[in-house]
Chain A
Amino acid sequence: MSKPHENEHNPHGPTARKEMSRRQFLSYTLGGASAFMIGGAALPMVRFAVDPLLQKKTDSDYVKVVEVSKLTAEPQEFNFEVLQVDGWYESKPTMTAWICKDEKGILALSPTCKHLGCTVSWNNNEKFKDQYFCPCHGAHYTKEGKQLAVARAPLDEYKVKVSEDGFVYLGSKQSNTRVQ
């Protein structure tokens, strides 16, 4: 412990080394030990809780959906099953794609509305002839998925592969590659 007058007689003034008070020493050691113990218990639990954010996301496998010869210029609705692994629960939910074929190739659109996630259909509203329309808040889209109202992005599309024997395979979703 420093004596009260020691520093005043020190020619180097305040730069001189000051000894730590008993109170400071105790608060540092006790504080440090407590922080270590609390951290040791809390960090694993916090990392455990945020794990879903940090887990690797995997692309879904390509799934066989329909023969190319069945596709038309008019979008048609096709359902297919994908393997979905949700934590400990594996299931095969049914997905929907609206697929059409034109000079640019095969376009498989996802029917999830880009406004707030309801489901669109093709040609389901007489006011919007030959468009995709969403019943929730009235978003509508062109045949290529270009947004015309309400929504702020075009409909997503599925990755498409065509096999040698003429089948369409659909993979994971990506943003629309034809329009913005």
Chain B
Amino acid sequence: MTSEIDTISAIQQAALRELAAASDLDSLDAWRIAYLGRRGRLTGVLRGLAGMPIEERRRVGAGANALKERLEAACDERRAALEEARVTQVIQEERLDVTLPGPPLPHGRLHPITQTLRDVLRAFRDMGFQVAEGPEIEWDYYNFEALRIPADHPARDMWDTLWMDFEHDGRRQMLLRTHTSPNQIRVMEHSQPPIRVVVPGKCYRFEATDPTHEWMMTQVEGLAIDAGISMADLKGTLAEFARRIFGQERRVAFRCDYFPFVEPGMELRIDCFICRGEGCRTCGRSGWIEILGAGMVHPEIIANAGYDAEKYTGFAFGLGIERIALLRHGVDDIRYFYANDLRFLRQF
């Protein structure tokens, strides 16, 4: 019966010798399977206990279990040492060139006009304006008539129009909207004050293109109507917008301007951030850059919407996103935006 005990001590000798020779994690795993695995040598001894008399079983079992614990502990110790050695090896011999690139991930970007438009809309949203949209192909009524620009009005020269081939009563009536202002009328048609809305969208002009002119453009129209809205609020809203988009230190100035659907009308200018007011090419030597047109909604338009024009006042503004994007990014030719040259677009 001593043979079993001898076997255990033989296993122990062989196991510890081989363990010391296991020089990496793979051979350690092989060693573990050979001795401690389901079909390992020590496991075989333990399995053989079932057929032994009770005394023998107790004695041999105790020895085998003690050896199992010892071998497991030795294995863990050896594993820790090997892992440590492996890390040391990586640190010492497998350094990476950190300047090499990672494998390519596809990288898409939004068009710079989309990016600028989102920033502009966010600025107005933060001030309580909602975003709405309207059709790009419009009736003359919304684009002109309802905005106090009847047929044969000289102010129509302010918007060179692309007309659709559709006549009614002998007149062209359908057009590619020349500005987002038709949405002032459309919004008022289905809402009651208080109104605070911005309407982004594409607009179109019959225009030859050059570095500062493009026939398709993106505008944002703004409209706020309530009892007690004044030009002071308009100035405050636009100044806040300009600072959010162009920087907190921006100075703003207003000048009188004319649009048939507002009275009084104005233009917002910011101090040129290129020359800081000294005068340069970007600002046309004036030190100021024109940003947008605005004004108090004409009382006739308020009344036409069915609102009490004595009580309700409001303001409207319209700004060109391309112009803002040009200024923010220092782009010197507006035609880049819709030429869609990837060497341009991928910069943004």
Pair from one complex: no
B-side interface residues toward A, CB under 8 Å?
none
A-side interface residues toward B, CB under 8 Å?
none
